[in-house]
Structure 1
Amino acid sequence: MGVRRVVVTGYGAVSPLGRGVKAMMEGLFARKSGVRLVPALAGVKGLRTQVAALVQGVDPQEIPRKYRRAMSSHSVFAALAAQEALESAGVSREIRTGGRLGVCIGTTVSSPIATEECYRLYLKELGVEDIKGTLFFQIMNHSCASNLVQCLGITGRVLSPSAACSTGNQAIGYGYEQIAFGKQDLMLCGGSEEFHPLTAATFDILGAASVHFNDRPAQTPRPFDRDRDGMVCAEGCGLLLLESLESAQKREAPILAEIIGYATNADPLNLADPHEDSIEACMRLVLKEAGISEKEVDYINAHATGTLQGDTAEARAIAKVFGDAVPVSSLKGHLGHTLAASGALEAIATIEMLRRGKVIPTLNLEHVDPSCAGIKVPTAPEERLLTVALKNNFALGGVNSCTLFRRFVHDR
């Protein structure tokens, strides 16, 4: 069997801008920010950052109790996003249970909320009498993937990557490879994340969190901006349904985009600080995988989280490969950094930009930092013909990932 073409036939989202892809895209195009002051963070001793981008308006009661009991927030987000993705793609129960649909979804550290509860109960009496068995199913690293399988009746392959900020992008890439090489016909792929004060504290301790805009939360993060001071933690879930072109055409499914390349590599130089050479190498790898030149890329959706080192490294790497001809933007100013979910949520938005021929500019970018000046970063919406888009994600620990999407043309 040759390498099969892989397309996107559906997607679902739960984001700080609202539930559903429509709500997210309306917020993005309206230049809205999901970042808010979180009063609960004020009670955490030593925590300087007081802002986050949280999901609102989600009711876990929509999920039957027999499934909900084993779900933490990130699994609830995933179940709702999966429902939207499968319904939009017209996937029947027969397909879900037929063994040719798999799942690839991950989180950063599973459920910090459930983990805290488990340790709280244990440390209270140094015993386990009050710990419920369902708490373990919320904590286990593959909780999100396993819960999706249970509530959707999926019998295909189950993969659960965990690579921090690269998780969602890697999940899409792994799903793409499963289909391209004939192991599955459909893959439900992405990432999910739930917020906890310790998540924000981690980046605060590392000096990577935004701490100077607590009184102006909508003005941070500020990717590529000279006044940026760090990232803003967020939560949510993005899921894409990938499918072989043959299967999609046979089902007469809506085809939203085609994946034409995926690459991932490692940066062994520093656990915390990204290096432009490895980012450059990853982007060149995905171009080679797709068999296209850098001149064929029409838009780049950057990882750019608003950190000093990260934005500079990515901008310099992009400049080396693409120069300043391709528009580049980051969605972190709108959504915050949804960590494991970021690659998938931003991939959905990237595909929507391809389909609509509209580039969403970077929110809060007012004065481009000189260290990021070698790339084209629009500060206003742009309408243009978009055919190919690159989605970047780069994680702590040196995990890089890049995916290329192409606007689908039926007669190609």
Structure 2
Amino acid sequence: MKRVVVTGMAGISPIGSSWEQVKANLLEGKTGIRHMAEWDRFREFNTRLGAPVTDFEKPAHFNRRLTRSMGRVALMATAVTEQALADAGLLGDESIQDGRMGVSYGSSTGSPDAIKDFGYMLLEGDAAGINANSYLKMMSHTAAVNIGVFFQLKGRVIPTSSACTSGSQGIGYAYEAIKYGKQKLMVAGGAEELCPSEAAVFDTLFATSTRNDAPHTSPRPFDRDRDGLVIGEGAGTLILEELEHAQARGARIYAELIGFGTNSDGTHVTQPQSETMRIAMQMALDDAGLTPDAIGYISAHGTATDRGDIAESHATHSLFGSNTPISAFKSFTGHTLGACGALEAWTSIKMMHDNWFHGTANLQDIDPNCAPLDYLTGTGREIKTDIIMSNNFAFGGINTSLIFKRW
């Protein structure tokens, strides 16, 4: 078995596209939630809240030939991967193009604008809006494929389109590809672009927040007065590498990925099950050879839905009791779907190195139906730990747990 380390990281989020920006907003309690006035045109739509990335533009050096097959989700994924490769000292290194580096990357779906063009064709019988690149923008593996083509990577491609676990499964399957000797390096992560259609998915389930006139007060993970989730967007990439390969080239190492667990509930598509969540976390602990008391911080999935928060909190409590610090990044960014697992892994590793972990925004009165955990609030807490866990749970009952160790 090979050891797997993180040698490069980058993220694009509603609260910043550098760790310095993100941390400043976390400390100030400044979220990325906005009132989306452009959604007012949708009749019978309850939520008007979203978390857009407001500072992303296509990089000037991304020419048309390389980007004509990319919608916004693939553009963000490719741009953030370029940053992560640069952070790892691998950008422009032709050796990664010989098949030793692969891609394991996810999103819930492709670009909605391209999907809309096909929908218009089916509804109106008019294919004028369809061109040779329409499907390439629409397909669920658009991010993974476009990353591979842009950087001329010839290793395996693992597209993870599993809703809220797309990013964390991308990281986990990349870890396994290196651990079992199939690849030396992997681009791993996930991305999502904000679209009212994705908010509508949860709106129909009455799972979205309707605090439309007070966006700064929502979402409220684990809070008694929460009223649902908010959809966001972003992208996150980790560069994973076999330890010996990283050491041989003198790479800086941020962390070692030592545990991964994933399973499925097998019972209901939209009603999470606490027991299988617990099992996924136990699987990650078993993979890492650890007991629960080794974990110093848990990055919660924390969507601010009743079923999700309650099930997750009780699953966590059943393993860890009440003493392991936990907080929810989605309280600041909204639910970034395919990107959340990667963004939460990135920020958790950064916080581990800073010996500080953020609080959960808007968590004022803990829901008595949630299990008694050590919920971080306010400006967070200074914590020195060498091992953290990052959890995500998705539609379809898909559960993931990742464990990182400080290097």
Q: Indicate if the aligned counterparts of 2:15 and 2:333 stay in contact, CA closer than 8 A.
A: yes
Confirm or deny that 1:20 pairs with 2:15.
Answer: no
Q: Do the aligned residues in 1 keep the contact of 2:313 with 2:373 (CA within 8 Å)?
A: yes
**Following the alignment from structure 1 to structure 2, what is the Cα–Cα distance between the partners of residues 61 and 255?**
27
Are the aligned partners of 1:20 and 1:84 in contact in 2 as well (CA < 8 Å)? no
Residues of 2 paired with 1:224 and 1:164: CA distance? 21
CA deviation profile, 1:355-405 (whole Å, cap 9, x unmatched): 111011111101111112421102232112111111000001100000001
How much has 1:111 moved relative to structure 2?
Answer: 1.7
- How far apart in 1 are the matches of 2:154 and 2:24? 35
Once the two structures are TM-superposed, the CA of residue 22 in structure 1 deviates from its matched residue by: 3.4
1:385 paired with 2:372, answer no
CA distance in 2, matches of 1:146, 1:285: 30
Which amino acid in the other structure matches residue 383 of structure 1? E
1:121 shift after superposition:
4.8
Which structure 2 residues correspond to residues 244-323 of structure 1 after superposition, within 5 A?
244-323=242-321
Q: CA RMSD in A?
A: 1.2
1:20-169 → structure 2 map (5 Å cutoff): 20-60=18-58, 62=60, 63-91=62-90, 92-121=92-121, 123-124=123-124, 126-169=125-168
The answer to whether the Cα contact below 8 Å between 1:14 and 1:80 also exists between their aligned partners in 2 is: no
SS of residue paired to 2:50:
strand
1:260-302 CA-partner distances (Å, limit 9, x unpaired): 1001011012211111111111111111111110011100000
The structural deviation recorded for 1:61 is 5.2
**What secondary structure, in the 3-state scheme, does the structure 2 residue paired with 1:240 have?**
strand
Give the Cα separation in 2 of the matches to 1:278 and 1:301: 18
Task: Indicate the SS of the match to 1:300.
Answer: strand
2:162 maps to amino acid: A
| Larger mean Cα displacement after TM superposition, 278-287 or 126-135 | 126-135
Identical aligned pairs, as a percentage? 38
> How high is the TM-score relative to the length of structure 2?
0.97
Tell me the alpha carbon deviations over residues 335-369 of structure 1, each in whole angstroms, 9 at most, x when there is no partner.
10000100000100110111111011111101111
Question: Hey, what does 1:236 align to over in structure 2?
Answer: 234
Runs of 4+ in 1 over 3 A off after TM superposition: 121-124
How far residue 95 of structure 1 moved from its aligned partner, in angstroms, is 2.7
Q: Aligned partners of 2:222 and 2:246: how far apart in 1? A: 39
Separation in 2, partners of 1:246, 1:364: 44
Post-superposition Cα deviations, 1:84-107, rounded to whole Å, max 9, x if no partner, equal: 100000004213312101111111
Residues 356 and 381 in structure 2, CA contact (< 8 A), matched pair in contact too: yes
Map 1:353-392 to 2 at 5 A: 353-380=351-378, 381-392=380-391
Compute the displacement of 1:25 (Å): 3.1
The one-letter code sitting in structure 1 at the alignment partner of 2:117 is E
Aligned length: 404
Aligned pair in 2 of structure 1 residues 57, 373: CA closer, same or farther (>3 Å)? same
Which amino acid counterpart does residue 24 of structure 2 have in structure 1? E
**Residue identity opposite 1:244 in structure 2:** E
Residue segments in structure 2 that go unaligned for 5+ positions in a row: none
Counterpart code for 1:99: G
Which one-letter code corresponds to 1:317 in the other structure? A
Partner Cα distance (1:95, 1:356) in 2: 32
The amino acid across from 2:356 in the alignment is K
Residues 231-273 of structure 1 show CA distances to partners (whole Å, capped at 9, x for unaligned) of: 1001110110001111111111110111110010110122111
Q: Residue 370 of structure 1 aligns to a residue in which SS?
A: coil
Deviation of 1:169 after TM superposition, in Å, equals 0.6
Displacement, 1:27? 2.3
Conserved? CA contact 2:5–2:243, under 8 Å? yes
